[in-house]
Amino acid sequence: MPAAADPVVRELYQNHRYPAMSHPLADPAVTAVAARLGGLTTAPPQQARILEIGCASGHNLLPLARRWPASRCLGLDLTENAIADARQLAVAAGIGNVTFHAADLRDFDPGGEPFDFIIAHGFFSWVPDEAKLALFEFCRHHLAPSGIATISFNLAAGWVPRLPVVAMVRVLQECAGGDLLATLELLREATDPATPHGANVRSIIDDMLAKGPDILAFDDFGPVNDPWPFDRFVITAATAGLRWLGESDPAENLPSALGDASRAALGPLAASPLQAQLAADFVVGRTFRSGVLCRDDAPTQPGLTSDTVVDFSVRQGAVTPTSADPLVRALYQALAAVAPACVPMPEILAALPEANPAALARLVFDGITRGFIRPRIEPLRFDPQPPACPALNAFLLACASRRLPLVDVWHQPCGFPAAHYQVLAAMDGSRTHAELAALASSRCPELAFEPWLRHLAGRGMFMPD
């Protein structure tokens, strides 16, 4: 991808606001676990130096800075408008341990100490090759010896089939005009879902339409849209002196969409991990990865054992495995008993005193790699019931008053219809449950207030400071 694409990238972000989002896979509480499973013990994120590259309006970095007041956070982005928004939001939310800098990564010298965590989410695939290589070089030079970089990118295996649709839409727009959505709809209507080709094109178009126009202009239809195969990413990173440790989500080290039969069929590739990964990406049509990388001289410890999980905190995943094994059942019952909390592993061990700790650790490790158990590097507890006078913290209140997505305790973004924001912005702790219910029924009569409030509480939105 030539560097000539750069002015178009700059112009897009300067003239169009990128939607505010947080990214759970970029959360250092999550990526520190991925690093540990890859053999590297990072600095504790509670007291770390954290940099986000391409931070846009700071919606990912600000909640992290707020969660860890003893950390020092820095956000970098090319786009001055976005950085101005980020600074304003930081002031409104009273977050003092974060600074934002408007610059091109290629001209940026952060000075000072190296970083324990570098985040570049939604950056790599949307910038020219020169900026991609600069990102790898930057991480190599500015990571601490035990630091990690979390870099997400779109994957050729599943993304490349989308490119002909993008090209066709551009051709149609050029000759017939029409906005993006109308052109996608036209192409959708023209395809015959009864043929394998038509069904495939339709499913791609449906996926694009579901993203909506706010995202599409930056996403499939961005000025640079450059998916890479996994091997090219890993080898280019290695050339710059970075080593791949694993996926941010350990349940995606082999794609979770890969069924048992496919796993078994790929078994003979076990001795060639890179080829096995490429084949798995191809088989499921994987479109996205979020990789954790370290310096090639990082002090990694080979010989991971399942006992490593004892250092983690764990919570129940969305799905629980079915098993007749009494130990498996006891483990998942113990996790359900503390849900939605994420508790230190020794607490789970203490809840199952009869169990063999090594066998239990192995089960937890398996559960983590299959997504049945969600690990974090630190525990997290909150009351899932709504308080008498619901109070959002200062960051969430600032988001509500600006109609930006709220961010839950798992770092997941949560957007709302405009009228709901009026109720959220009133959740400053000064109104009772009943007063808020009355406000909701006047501003958004269609809203089922009680279940909504319970839903918010269940996502930890009212966790006290």
Ligand X SMILES: C[S@@+](CC[C@H](N)C(=O)[O-])C[C@H]1O[C@@H](n2cnc3c(N)ncnc32)[C@H](O)[C@@H]1O
* Positions in the binding site for ligand X (CB under 6 A): 9, 13, 18, 21, 54-56, 76-79, 82, 104-105, 121-123, 126-127, 131, 218
Distance (Å, whole) CA 192 – CA 245: 43
Residue number with CB closer to ligand X (127 or 201): 127
**Closest separation between CB of residue 432 and ligand X, Å?**
36
**Closest separation between CB of residue 13 and ligand X, Å?**
4
Residue number with CB closer to ligand X (56 or 396): 56
**Closest separation between CB of residue 143 and ligand X, Å?**
17
**Closest separation between CB of residue 319 and ligand X, Å?**
27
Residue number with CB closer to ligand X (85 or 252): 85
The phi-psi region of residue 303 (left if phi > 0; otherwise alpha if psi is between -120 and 50; otherwise beta) is: left
Chain centroid offset of residue 110 CA: 24
Residue number with CB closer to ligand X (218 or 462): 218
**Closest separation between CB of residue 218 and ligand X, Å?**
5
- Select the residue whose beta carbon is closest to ligand X and give its number: 122
Residue number with CB closer to ligand X (120 or 341): 120
**Closest separation between CB of residue 21 and ligand X, Å?**
4
Residue number with CB closer to ligand X (218 or 365): 218
Residue number with CB closer to ligand X (13 or 100): 13
Three-class SS of the chain: CCHHHHHHHHHHHHHCCCCCCCCHHHCHHHHHHHHHHCCCCCCCHHHCEEEEECCCCCCCHHHHHHHCCCCEEEEEECCHHHHHHHHHHHHHCCCCCEEEEECCHHHCCCCCCCEEEEEECCCHHHCCHHHHHHHHHHHHHHEEEEEEEEEEEEEHHHHHHHHHHHHHHHHHHHHHCCCHHHHHHHHHHHCCCCCHHHHHHHHHHHHHHHHCHHHHCCCCCCCCCCCECHHHHHHHHHHCCEEEEEECCHHHCCCCCCCHHHHHHCHHHCCCHHHHHHHHHHHHCCCEEEEEEEECCCCCCCCCCHHHHHHCEEEECCCCCCCCCHHHHHHHHHHHHHCCCEEEHHHHHHHCCCCCHHHHHHHHHHHHHCCCEEEECCCECCCCCCCCCCECCHHHHHHHHHCCCEECCCCCEECCCHHHHHHHHCCECCCCHHHHHHHHHHHCCCCCHHHHHHHHHHCCCCCCC
**Closest separation between CB of residue 240 and ligand X, Å?**
16
Residue number with CB closer to ligand X (54 or 250): 54
**Closest separation between CB of residue 45 and ligand X, Å?**
18
Residue number with CB closer to ligand X (117 or 218): 218
**Closest separation between CB of residue 290 and ligand X, Å?**
11
